[in-house]
């Protein structure tokens, strides 16, 4: 499972990287040149200098003639090496900036295009944390490849290429020891990878617990549950500590083993350098190269431990968002779907079958459900909790997809049209107003980008919101706080209605839009809703029957079926379920 997730992470990262192949290959070439020139070019020229010095016979007036070419070579190597180093920095920064943009866009699109069922089963804070880690993991991965790993490959290539013709036995022994080192590191890397994913999962859970508590801080405080929430957070925090500790000990164990191999390698080079001239006639310059190159390559291999640890952490951090990106979209547009065109607003639910699942459990909500709403008709949906009223509106908005049947809007199957075009034809006002931490004006104009202030003010006036907005500290420029926390419930709802008025959609869905308001706020909101409903096809979900009594038609839903259908007076006279609900709410049974 871990390897599969790692491969999928690499797949997504490569999708982004190949869009910037010029930067990527420029980074590789500059790294190759940087290592070749500064780590291997300098010692090579110095070995030639040492051999020339050991030959003797150079007088004071012959220094520049004898060593001039070496001096020029060293200067050129360092000039071009430093230039390669700076170009490496440039391409790395540019690639990371470009990739961060693409990864953020990829994650945002994936989250925004997922169904409401997906979001209902996840912490918002966890998804934010996963996105952030997914982006930073790419940066960590690229930097790890370009600094420990690519230089290691270069070091092995250059060490073999330069020393093998001169001391083949030494190179063979060195490569064998390095192969053991690399094999041990890789085996332990695979073992630690699962520990990193578990540690990242624990960290995501901790972020989710924190987000959940902070988002619902009013409930925490008003019920005196600070200690309980702290207990949940502490349990998640302790799990993070436990998993991080396991990862730490595994990494330390790997470091001790590989450090022991490094000691063996340096012991071999010490023996060869000490006896190289006596046993094999190796020149002083070559001995200098042997020590310098071996020290360089073993140092680079030492960085492999840190690099593999960073690899582990990067893949572990990225695993959460990788899994999210792999999630199938429960609600998706068909290929080449056209935009929905609505002129009148007639709605037809034909043979609807829908069930939702929680794990392996399935709950049937609708089975062969039928309902026709003519254009311009105002329809109330009533019934007991769990009857399917709100679910029906979500199916109309395609927040979830039906399993059988079809929903038609002006004769067009909404499943065959783009979701965005569908939702732009439906103004939705829920029980809890959906406000952003932005200005009042931005919130009202959300359904009509580019609306003028004249249009915004007119919509606010029609929603009975203009008076209170103008009393706010900065009027329409006042920031409303997260989810509109700076405003009262009635004020938030009137802003949501102003948004719906400005959007001017042919279809209106009101889902318990006044149930949480006090009497005064409800009266203002009801008046605004009456304005909003004029000339539109309206679906009003309500438990408070007084809000639907004046509508053209009332549909009673019971266990996913239409139990009663007709105007208020007709349903009262029928003495059925609607009449019973009405009598309970109006106190008729108290007599």
pLDDT digits (tens, 9 = 90+) for 358-367: 556 677 889 8
pLDDT at 516 over 60: no
Q: Tell me whether domains 2-326 and 434-504 share a fold.
A: no
Residue 52 to residue 440: CA distance in whole angstroms: 81
Structure tokens at 249: 């000990």
Q: Which residue has the higher pLDDT, 565 or 333?
A: 565
pLDDT at 236 over 50: yes
Contact (Cβ atoms closer than 8 angstroms) between residue 538 and residue 379: yes
Q: Return the minimum-mean-pLDDT range out of 23-32, 120-129, 246-255, 370-379.
A: 120-129
**DSSP designation for 232:** H
Average pLDDT, integer, range 548-557:
90
- pLDDT, one tens digit per residue, over 381-422 is 998 888 888 889 889 988 888 889 999 999 999 999 998 889
Q: Between 3.40.50.150, 3.40.50.880, 3.40.50.300, 3.40.640.10, what CATH number should domain 434-504 receive?
A: 3.40.50.300
pLDDT score, position 360: 61
Domain boundaries, the chain: 2-326, 434-504
Q: Looking at the structure, give the CATH architecture of the domain made up of residues 2-326.
A: Up-down Bundle (1.20)
Q: CA nearest 426: which of 500, 495, 357?
A: 500
- pLDDT, one tens digit per residue, over 163-186 is 888 888 888 888 888 888 888 877
- Three-class secondary structure of residue 67 per DSSP: helix
Calculate the CA 398 to chain-centre distance. Answer: 23
pLDDT score, position 591: 40
Q: CA nearest 77: which of 101, 100, 43?
A: 43
Average pLDDT, integer, range 14-25:
94
């Amino acid at each position: 499972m871990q390897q599969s997730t790692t491969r999928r992470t690499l797949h997504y990262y490569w999708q982004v990287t190949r869009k910037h192949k010029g930067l990527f290959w420029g980074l590789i070439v500059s790294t190759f040149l940087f290592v070749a020139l500064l780590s291997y070019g300098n010692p090579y020229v110095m070995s030639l200098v040492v051999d020339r010095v050991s030959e003797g016979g150079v007088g004071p007036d012959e220094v520049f003639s004898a060593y001039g070419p070496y001096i020029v070579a060293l200067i050129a190597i360092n000039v071009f090496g430093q230039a390669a180093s700076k170009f490496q920095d440039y391409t790395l920064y540019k690639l990371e900036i470009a990739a961060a943009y693409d990864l953020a866009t990829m994650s945002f699109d994936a989250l925004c295009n997922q169904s409401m069922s997906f979001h209902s089963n996840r912490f918002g804070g966890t998804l934010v944390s996963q996105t952030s880690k997914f982006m930073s993991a790419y940066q960590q991965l690229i930097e790890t490849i370009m600094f420990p790993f690519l230089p290691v490959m270069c070091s092995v290539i250059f060490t073999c290429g330069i020393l093998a013709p001169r001391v083949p036995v030494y190179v063979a022994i060195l490569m064998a020891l390095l192969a053991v080192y690399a094999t041990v590191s890789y085996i332990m890397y695979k073992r630690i990878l699962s520990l990193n994913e578990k540690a990242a999962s624990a960290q995501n859970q901790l972020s989710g617990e924190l987000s959940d508590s902070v988002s619902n801080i009013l409930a925490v405080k008003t019920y005196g549950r600070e200690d309980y929430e702290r207990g949940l957070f502490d349990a998640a925090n302790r799990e993070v500590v436990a998993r991080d500790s396991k990862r730490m000990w595994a990494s330390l164990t790997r470091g001790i083993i590989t450090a022991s191999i490094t000691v063996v390698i340096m012991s071999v080079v010490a023996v060869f350098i000490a006896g190289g001239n006596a046993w094999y006639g190796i020149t002083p310059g070559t001995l200098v190269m042997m020590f310098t190159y071996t020290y360089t390559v073993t140092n680079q291999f030492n960085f492999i431990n840190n690099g593999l640890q960073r690899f582990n952490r990067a893949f572990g951090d990225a695993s959460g968002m990788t899994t999210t990106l792999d999630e199938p979209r429960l609600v998706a547009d068909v290929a080449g779907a056209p935009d929905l065109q609505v002129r009148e607003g007639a709605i037809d639910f034909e043979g609807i079958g829908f069930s939702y699942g929680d794990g392996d459990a399935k709950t049937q909500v609708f089975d062969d459900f039928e309902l026709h709403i003519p254009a311009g008709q105002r329809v109330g949906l009533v019934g007991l909790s769990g009857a399917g009223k709100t679910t029906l509106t979500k199916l109309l908005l395609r927040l979830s997809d039906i399993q059988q049947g079809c929903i038609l809007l002006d004769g067009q199957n909404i499943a065959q049209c783009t979701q965005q075009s569908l939702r732009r034809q439906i103004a939705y006002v829920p029980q809890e107003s959906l406000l952003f931490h932005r200005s009042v004006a931005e919130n009202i104009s959300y359904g009509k980008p580019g609306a003028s202030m004249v249009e915004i003010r007119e919509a606010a006036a029609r929603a009975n919101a203009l008076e209170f907005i103008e009393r706010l500290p900065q009027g329409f420029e006042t920031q409303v706080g997260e989810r509109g926390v700076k405003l009262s419930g009635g004020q938030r709802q009137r802003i949501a209605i102003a948004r719906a008025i400005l959007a001017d959609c042919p279809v209106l869905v009101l889902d318990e839009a006044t149930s949480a308001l006090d009497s005064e706020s409800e009266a203002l909101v009801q008046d605004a809703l009456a304005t909003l409903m004029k000339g539109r096809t309206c679906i009003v979900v309500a438990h408070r029957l007084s809000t639907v009594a004046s509508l053209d038609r009332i549909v009673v839903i019971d266990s996913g079926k239409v139990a009663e259908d007709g105007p208020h007076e007709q349903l009262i006279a029928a003495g059925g379920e609607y009449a019973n609900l009405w009598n309970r709410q109006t106190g008729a049974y108290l007599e």
